[in-house]
Structures are given as C-alpha cells and as structure tokens.
C-alpha cells in the first residue's frame, strides 16, 4: 500500500516539477496557434482548456491503461516503477513534444512532423506506419468494447441480440464513421468530457474499493522480483506490454488533434503532459488492483480474458451500485480512442496527399475505405476468420518503436533550436533498447527462430548495442549539421 501512494505522489509531483522543466525547455510563447490562424470549423477549432484536457485523455487512454496495466500486474508491483518513471521521464515528454511540434507546424500529423526533422525517407515510412497502426488501433478499440458490452449484459442476465458481439461491433463502427466524418466539436468536443469524468470517477472507485475491501497491495521492496506466472522476462516484455500509462507511440498520432484546437501554446503542458500523467495514475490504480486482488496470477486468475477480469475487479471493489458507472467508463475509454484513431488516419492521409478536408466529399471518400478496412478486420476477428490477437502483438512492438522515432525527432528539433536535447535523447535511447531487445527475442518477431525465443543472452546485448548505435548516429548527425552551419 505504501508503495502505491509513494508512486502516486511522485506522479503528481512530476507534473509540477519535471513537466514544468520540459515546458520551459520548449519555450511556449504568444504566437498565433493553428486553431486561430487556420480555423476551418472541422478540424481546426478553438476549444476550452478543460475540454482539451479531457478529450486528450480519452484520445490517448483507450484500453491501454486498463488492459495493459492489468497484464503488467502479472510481473508484480515492480510494474509500479515503470508506470511512474516511464510516465514522468518518457511518456509525458513524448506526448508534450508530439503535441507542441505539431502545433508549431500548422497542426501537422506526426508523420509530417517526423519528416521535417528526420528527413523525407523517414516521413514516408512514418506515413505508412501511422496509417496502418491507426487502423489497427481503431479496429481493436471497436472489437474490445463490443466484447465488454456483451460481458456486461450476460453477467446481468440479459439474452438475445444485446449479447451479440457482431451487433455491438456494427453499432460502434457506425458511430466511428460519424465521429470521424463530422466536425471535432460536434460529438468529440461535447460527449468526451462526460466520459472523461466517468473514467476518472471509475479509477477513484476502484482504488477506494480495493482498500475498503481489505485487499492488500503488495510492496515493491518485499516483492522486487519477477512474479510472472510464466516466467516471462521483465526486460523488455513488461516495457512493451504496459505502453499506455507509461509511454505509447499511439499518443503521438492523437496529440495533433488537440494541437489544432489550442488557443495558446501555454496550454500545452496541461493538455499533453498533464493528460499523460492522468493516464499514468489510472494505469497505476488498475495495476495496484490487479496485484492486490489476483496477486502473481494476474489475468489468469479471473479466467475469460481481459473483459471478464475488468468486470470482476469492478464487482469486487464497487459492488452492484458502482459497477454500471465503472463499466461505462471502461467501455467509453476504448471507444473514444477508436474514433479518434480513424480520424487521425483520415488526417494523416489528407496531409500526405494534400487533400482539402473542408469539402464534405473529400472527407467522405477518405472515411469510407478506412472504416471499411476496420469492418473487415473487426468482423473477421469476431467470426473467427482473423486472429487479431496476433496482429495486436505486432502492434505492441510497432507502438513503442513509433514512440522511439518521435523522441528522436524531438531531439533533433531541440538540437536545431539550441535547447537541452538530452531530455529527449535519454528516453529515445532507452526506448531504442526496449524496442530492439523485444524484437530480437519476442515469439512473434525474430523470436520465431527457436534459438532466439526469450534468449536474453542474445537479445540484451543486441538491444544495448543498437541503442548505442542510434545514439552515435544522432550525435554524428548533429555534428554534421553544426559543421554545415559554420560553413554557411
């Protein structure tokens, strides 16, 4: 219990201290923001600060800080450390710079931003990378909530079409099409704040119920070991599993949405860094509940997968009175990331091919194929034609790789502007090691080769060597740029 409250305090303090340091390093000023200069009533719309924060929180949250944190709890309370320090020194920094660099570049999508600082080749790679990732995320955030709704109705004795996953998947995809198509302030700006409040209340209810129910959250110092039931290595599997709630590349695809709605650059710390800290707190709560209620068995103890586990925890901590509110929050959380994932995919393609989004026809012809692909993948998974869990495991790696690339982009921006680039270089190097280590030994990557599967003797050195190589390439690039400037 003490460990939980220490980590909670550090997270909150991190916003006011390190978050302020990051903000001062970037240096927001009073220049005209894209929301004012490019206001189009569709994607570039000025929104109040409190709405910006809640919308950003729901955009980035998804299933990650709940499912990811619960899965991370299988490793034991050591996951608290990754959530806490990952959020402050990596995730918050990543989200702040992905949002503010977009804001400084006319609200450009993250692929375009990356190209500005890392070159045309990386821009084209990121364009493809981002669209694929966003469609994957949008689809999973349709399939997941459909399953949660079915669990909710079945556990309350309901039968018939309301317990049909394909039915709810179709409803969610129809909503996604509407939310992706129309102005951001018509649905997203109006209902997200309500769901954001529900999400926060749900987290508060879960942690209060955990303590009130007599469950003991294990301490880090007495359980500082790998408690995973399958013995899966902490490094770097836990750092890939717990993405949202620590650091997630997906967030960089969402931040430009709010970068196009800021009234002032000085709102950035609260909107981007602050929402990441809030998500970290939510992840900490769910990780603590998972450790306290199921111990080292994690999700295995509940049976039935993530949806059943979430329902079980809500029932154990809040009973019948609070369970409806709790499940509403859990269902709303992924849905309100799924629609903005498809929206971000639309904007990424629009930026890529310079397609004017003021025109209704243009938005329609971009939304239709994107949601069509999502429907094929979603229904394919629902009816058993596609094993989307395999695709999702690949996403886990690509997600953190995207975060790594964004941090290297931010590092180059800071270098060009003669600012302290080490605040992004250090987490970029760290995430490079995480990504490469996982890639080498994970069963769905190079770990398909029997000799490399979970082979830490090969993967650990490989991760360290490549991370050092990336750092060396960055330093070499800065020296070349400095030399070129001197010769001008």
Go through the chain and tell me how many residues it has.
488
Distances in whole angstroms, Cα of residue 10 to Cα of each of 38, 86, 218, 271, 464: 39, 12, 18, 19, 28
Structure tokens at 272: 């981007």
Instruction: Give per-residue pLDDT as tens, 407-437.
Output: 999 999 999 999 999 999 999 999 999 999 9
CA atoms within 13 A on the CB side of 168: 22
Can you tell me the distance from the alpha carbon of 449 to that of 443, in angstroms, rounded to the nearest whole number?
A: 8
Alpha carbon 450 to its chain centroid, in Å, reads 31
* Average pLDDT across the chain, whole number: 88
Containing 467, the helix (H) or strand (E) segment is helix 456-487
Nearest residue to 282 (alpha-carbon basis) of 50, 62, 22, 16: 62
Can you tell me the distance from the alpha carbon of 351 to that of 355, in angstroms, rounded to the nearest whole number?
A: 7
Query: What was the pLDDT predicted at 140?
Result: 79
Can you tell me the distance from the alpha carbon of 52 to that of 95, in angstroms, rounded to the nearest whole number?
A: 14
Residues 447-473, mean pLDDT to the nearest whole number: 94
Query: What was the pLDDT predicted at 13?
Result: 98
Residues 253-268, mean pLDDT to the nearest whole number: 96
Burial zone of 420 (CB within 10 Å; 0-12 exposed, 13-18 middle, 19+ buried): middle
Residues 219-233, mean pLDDT to the nearest whole number: 90
DSSP 57-81: HHHHHTTIIIIIHHHHGGG-THHHH
Can you tell me the distance from the alpha carbon of 343 to that of 254, in angstroms, rounded to the nearest whole number?
A: 9
Q: Quick check: 447 pLDDT over 70?
A: yes
Instruction: Give per-residue pLDDT as tens, 349-391.
Output: 999 999 998 888 999 899 999 999 988 888 887 766 665 555 6
Is the distance from CB of 319 to CB of 336 less than 8 angstroms?
A: no
Query: What was the pLDDT predicted at 338?
Result: 83
Residue 306: band (very low, low, confident or very high) from pLDDT cuts 50, 70, 90: low
Query: What was the pLDDT predicted at 194?
Result: 79
Task: State yes or no: cis peptide before 277, omega within 30 of 0.
Answer: no
Structure tokens at 69: 């944190």
pTM, two decimals, is 0.91
Work out the number of other CB atoms within 10 angstroms of the CB of residue 324: 13
Instruction: Give per-residue pLDDT as tens, 68-126.
Output: 898 899 899 999 999 999 999 999 999 999 999 999 999 999 999 999 999 989 899 88
- pLDDT above 70 covers a percentage of the chain that reads 92
- For the chain, domains (ranges, CATH) are 2-397 (1.20.1740.10)
């Amino acid at each position: 219990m003490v460990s939980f409250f220490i980590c909670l305090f550090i997270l909150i303090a991190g916003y006011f201290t390190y978050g302020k340091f990051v903000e001062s390093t970037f240096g927001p000023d009073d220049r005209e923001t894209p929301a004012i200069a490019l206001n189009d009533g569709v994607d570039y719309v000025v929104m109040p600060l409190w709405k910006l924060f809640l919308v950003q929180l729901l955009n980035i949250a998804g299933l990650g800080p709940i499912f990811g944190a619960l899965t991370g709890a299988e490793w034991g309370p050591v996951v608290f450390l990754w959530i806490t320090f990952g959020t402050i020194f990596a995730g918050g920094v990543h989200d702040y710079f992905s949002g503010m660099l977009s804001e400084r570049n006319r609200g450009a999508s993250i692929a375009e931003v990356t190209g500005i600082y890392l070159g045309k080749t990386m821009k084209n790679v990121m364009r493809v990378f981002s669209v694929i990732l966003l469609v994957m995320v949008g689809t999973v955030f349709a399939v997941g909530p459909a399953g949660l709704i079915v669990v909710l109705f079945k556990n309350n004795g309901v039968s018939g079409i309301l317990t049909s996953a394909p039915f709810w998947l179709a409803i969610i995809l129809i909503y996604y099409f509407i939310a992706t198509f129309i102005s951001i302030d018509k649905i997203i700006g109006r209902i997200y704040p309500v769901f954001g409040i529900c999400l926060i209340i749900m987290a508060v209810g879960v942690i209060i119920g955990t303590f009130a129910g007599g469950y003991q959250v294990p301490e880090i110092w007495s359980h500082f070991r790998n408690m995973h039931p399958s013995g899966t290595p902490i490094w770097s599997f836990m750092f890939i599993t717990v993405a949202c709630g620590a650091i997630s590349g997906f967030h960089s695809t969402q931040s430009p949405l709010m970068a196009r709605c800021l009234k002032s650059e000085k709102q950035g710390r609260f909107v981007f860094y602050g929402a990441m800290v809030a998500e970290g707190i939510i992840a900490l709560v769910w990780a603590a509940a998972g450790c306290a209620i199921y111990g080292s068995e994690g999700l295995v103890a509940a049976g039935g997968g993530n949806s059943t586990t979430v329902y079980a925890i809500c029932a154990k901590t809040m009973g019948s009175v609070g369970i409806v509110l709790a499940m509403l929050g859990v269902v709303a959380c992924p849905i309100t990331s799924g629609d903005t994932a498809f929206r971000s995919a639309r904007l990424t393609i629009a930026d890529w091919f310079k397609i004017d989004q003021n025109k209704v026809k243009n938005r329609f012809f971009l939304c239709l194929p994107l949601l069509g692909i999502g429907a094929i993948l979603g229904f394919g998974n629902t009816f058993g034609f596609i094993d989307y869990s395999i695709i999702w495991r690949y996403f886990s790696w690509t997600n953190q790789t995207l975060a790594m690339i964004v941090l290297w982009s931010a590092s180059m921006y800071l270098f060009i502007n003669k600012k302290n680039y080490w605040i992004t270089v250090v987490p970029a190097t760290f995430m490079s090691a995480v990504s490469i280590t996982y890639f080498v030994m994970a069963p769905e990557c190079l770990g398909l080769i029997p000799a490399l599967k979970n082979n830490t003797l090969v993967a650990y050195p490989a991760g360290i060597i490549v991370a050092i190589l990336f750092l060396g390439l960055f330093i070499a690039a800065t020296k070349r740029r400095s030399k070129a400037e001197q010769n001008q």
